[in-house]
Structure 1
């Protein structure tokens, strides 16, 4: 089980340690930060995109398919009043010489992203006092 330990190094920065990795977050100036690191929300969105990217890359490597030009772009739509996240749109760009016979299969592979699945069937989050 992964344990994430959080600390507060200063300002509105929040640091997370997971295993041997340290992840720093900050806020933009309009939210009191110095923009020295991505915001937690930016990391959340990045985790969706990088997870999908891993599945795309693995699909290509397992089949010895080209990866030059392989890319994923993530765009979001928010509700205009509540600012609630409504849509995450990922656009998969394939290499120019990517075989057409694998196009639907790579989409199915990318759709297996575990971060996306966690959003589709969200876990219960419990908050307790120590």
Structure 2
């Protein structure tokens, strides 16, 4: 089943998206002519990788009734402008104090199940077209 995201252009460099019942605002940096009132679309793309890995780590802990107090995740993005396939993403997970050793490999494996990451590794086909007159 296809999912539609509706995009609107509220003014300036703002480009907003409506997905299900949510509104997602974006803007450009001041250097790019925007007001910097919201994240840039590329920031949202990168954030989707980090938050997707995060939800898998969280669910891993919750399903095993492990504490998530102190669970933190950072994502380092090292772009390569000359060769995008040489760009690097490093996900760094801080585990809660007393996290069982036997689950360390498992939580990393769970983070690798992130649907956003998997979709990047096997990209969809893209098509652009004009609608209407």
Which sits farther off after the overlay, 88-97 or 23-32? Answer: 88-97
Q: TM-score, normalised by structure 2?
A: 0.92
**Secondary structure at 1:25 match in 2:** coil
Aligned to 1:82: 82
Q: TM-score, normalised by structure 1?
A: 0.95
User: CA separation in 2, counterparts of 1:15 and 1:109?
Assistant: 31
Shift >2 Å, 4+ stretches: 81-85
User: CA separation in 1, counterparts of 2:73 and 2:119?
Assistant: 19
1:16 aligns to 2:9 (yes or no): no
User: CA separation in 2, counterparts of 1:91 and 1:32?
Assistant: 33
Q: Which runs of 5 or more residues in structure 1 are unaligned? A: none
Aligned to 2:51: 50
Q: Which has the higher strand share?
A: 1
Deviation at 1:114, TM superposition (A): 0.2
User: CA separation in 2, counterparts of 1:83 and 1:10?
Assistant: 33
Deviation at 1:128, TM superposition (A): 1.3
Deviation at 1:103, TM superposition (A): 0.3
Deviation at 1:82, TM superposition (A): 3.4
Aligned to 1:27: 28
User: CA separation in 1, counterparts of 2:117 and 2:72?
Assistant: 17
Deviation at 1:88, TM superposition (A): 1.1
1:70 aligns to 2:71 (yes or no): yes
Q: Which runs of 5 or more residues in structure 2 are unaligned? A: none
